[in-house]
């Protein structure tokens, strides 16, 4: 009732606007509410589980950013587990939260499938590359009693695969983000979202920079290329489209 009256207070009819504002003020006084509290009642939160393959910090944060930009929301990562997060919290106008979580779920499933397929392909390439270097590894470590060569080869394959897959997925998500038309958030909505976020203990997450080798750069470019040919969730009015596939 108060929200409707507040909306009517902006009516082009001066008498109607004055009456609506007066009634809204009386209701707020009666219920001990402030204008900020009334506006904040439109803001809420929805939580979504981050799928296990996507809990790595860089991937989960990028997923959250894509959805937040498309729906005019903000987000927080929660339930830290190792180097990643189990839960994402979307914050913003209540009428956009359900759709945002739905699209997040669809995008997450697709991303998990893409990662699974990419992991197999990349692992095969990495294994072939490591096996090519096996003679050099034997010359270097073959006489070292403290080096288990089979274990070293296995670790190299796993480590290089994990790193290249991470870069591939970063590229794929970058391509998906290019399809997003950023939602134009009104200033008052942005203020209320920030006010709501103040309820949480927010910690800044910083990414560490490091040298990127040619194989990782190549994996990133492949991810971008394949992402551009992948599903489109974000076309149309105000950056939101519920058509899931092109």
127, pLDDT greater than 80: yes
For residue 89, list its beta bridge partners.
47, 76
User: Which of 4-8, 23-27, 165-169 is the least confident region?
Assistant: 4-8
34-46 tens-digit pLDDT: 666 666 678 889 9
pLDDT of residue 227: 86
pLDDT at 164 over 70: yes
Three-state helix/strand/coil letters over 154-169: HHHHHHHHHHHHHHHH
Structure tokens at 40: 């904040």
Q: What Cα–Cα distance (Å) separates residue 202 from each residue in 54, 77, 91, 152?
A: 21, 9, 13, 40
The pLDDT of residue 236: 41
> What is the per-residue pLDDT for 171?
93
- Reported pTM: 0.74
Residue with tokens 């274990």: 151
């Amino acid at each position: 009732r108060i929200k409707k009256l507040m909306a009517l207070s902006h009516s082009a009819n001066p008498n109607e606007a004055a009456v609506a504002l007066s009634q809204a003020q009386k209701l707020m006084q009666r219920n001990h509410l402030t204008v900020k509290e009334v506006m904040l009642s439109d803001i809420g939160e929805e939580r979504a589980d981050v799928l296990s393959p996507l809990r790595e910090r860089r991937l989960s944060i990028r997923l959250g950013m894509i959805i937040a930009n498309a729906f005019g929301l903000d987000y927080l990562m929660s339930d830290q587990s190792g180097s990643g997060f189990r839960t994402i919290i979307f914050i913003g106008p209540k009428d956009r939260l359900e759709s945002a979580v739905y699209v997040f779920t669809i995008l997450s499933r697709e991303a998990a499938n893409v990662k699974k397929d990419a992991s197999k392909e990349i692992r095969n390439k990495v294994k072939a590359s490591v096996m090519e270097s096996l003679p050099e590894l034997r010359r270097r470590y073959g006489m070292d009693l403290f080096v288990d060569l089979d274990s070293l080869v296995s670790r190299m394959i796993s480590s290089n695969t994990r790193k290249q897959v991470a870069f591939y997925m970063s590229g794929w998500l970058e391509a998906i983000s290019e399809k997003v038309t950023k939602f134009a958030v009104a200033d008052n909505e942005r203020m209320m979202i920030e006010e709501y976020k103040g309820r949480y203990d927010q910690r800044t997450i910083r990414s560490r920079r490091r040298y990127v080798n040619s194989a990782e750069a190549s994996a990133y470019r492949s991810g971008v290329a394949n992402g551009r040919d992948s599903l489109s969730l974000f076309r149309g009015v105000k950056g939101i489209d519920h058509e899931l596939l092109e």
